[in-house]
Amino acid sequence: MKIVADQNIPQIKPAFSTLGNIELLPGREITRDRLSDCQCLLVRTITTIDKKLLRNTPVQFIGSATIGTDHVDLDYLKQQGIAFSNAAGCNAEAAAEYVISGIFALSQQKKFDPFTRKAGIIGCGNVGSNLLKKLQVLGIEVLVCDPLKAERSDNTIDTVDFDTIVRECDLISLHVPLTHQGRYPTYHLFNHQSLSQLREGCLLINAARGSVVDNRALSQVIAKRPDLITFLDTWENEPNLSRSLLDDVDLATSHIAGYSVEGRLRGTQMILNAACQTFNKAASWQMADHLSDPTEINITKSNSTLDYWQQLFHKHHNIWQDNLALKNTSELNDAEFARHFDSLRRVYPDRFEYDRYRLLTSIDKKTAAKVRRLFPIE
């Protein structure tokens, strides 16, 4: 069996080696002529899956090692009888942790206390619900907007409408899929009007899809609202994003919120399992065999509870390094910058999730109880 795979999916060659012959390609170079003898196609979000790519090819299975499906024409796959699997939830833990790293990093830089803010989560799927639990553990008040979840008979989460989030919350994090149609389209959910209505000093975080926020409108509003705090991990027109907006955003990263080692390996495992089921094969590769031993974090001194949490999340991951890697690019022309953006995702350094750490520290009992629910303690 011939397998064509995005070269940036981790461990993809050893994971799929028992299923067939693998050709690795950059995701943007996966074209129809490369699929003429391919039965199994493995991609990420940068490869558009549609009739143009697949027409008159022998592809039988497509695996996307990502949570989103806005790059896939699911109706066309169904019409053609092509099996499809994505990796829903594979990086939910990583993305939620990354958002928390950003919140506490910005709280230190911008001198605000996240514990006194009212957070709003828009989209309470795998990532949003994970973030909700973590913010609640930390003791931060949270409102949730998810109209689809609110309509489900098995929903147990109290929800509010979009306008309530904008009106009442001064920390807003976006975790919706990108949709253009339906009752609740999310394309440019935050447009000029809603951005202008944000509370004074509001922190807006987009770790969903770039076009959930109108990037041009955001640039215009930031110019008039220097009080706003912005953290973007996703951008419109990646990798050809707005360089002027990049300069204006307080914390900017290269669509890597979900890029923990575990999140990426989990994505590989999930599409491998689905491919094995489709082709009636057995999976011999297991992600657990490729995880390192836990790392220790030691905090010896803190000046306050907030300072303790800021140190802890900084030691878990220094998000300012990711910001600098993307922003320190003024000497690059647009073509060079686009290649640089992709390279930051391709060669991203290892970042592990909370449960790969052991925390060695002395703290008060109330804080320790919260920490135990996030990090293992020895």
Q: Could you list the active site residues? A: 209, 238, 255
Is the link from the previous residue into 376 a cis peptide, with omega within 30 of 0?
Answer: no
Structure tokens at 49: 């899956």
**Do 320 and 105 meet the contact criterion of CB atoms below 8 Å apart?**
yes
Distances from the Cα of 94 to the Cα of 112, 119, 351, angstroms = 24, 19, 9
Q: What are phi and psi of 318, to 5 degrees?
A: -85, 95
**Do 43 and 27 meet the contact criterion of CB atoms below 8 Å apart?**
yes
* Strand locations in 169-294 (E): 171-174, 203-206, 229-232, 251-252
Closest CA to 47 of 92, 6, 91: 6
Q: How many CB atoms lie within 10 A of CB 375?
A: 18
* Strand locations in the chain (E): 2-6, 21-25, 40-43, 61-64, 83-86, 118-122, 141-145, 171-174, 203-206, 229-232, 251-252, 295-299, 357-361
Please, what sign has the CA dihedral across residues 369, 371, 376, 378? negative
Q: How many CB atoms lie within 10 A of CB 127?
A: 28
Structure tokens at 34: 């490369």
Whole-number Å distance between alpha carbons of 87 and 135: 24
Closest CA to 192 of 166, 157, 174: 166
Q: How many CB atoms lie within 10 A of CB 109?
A: 13
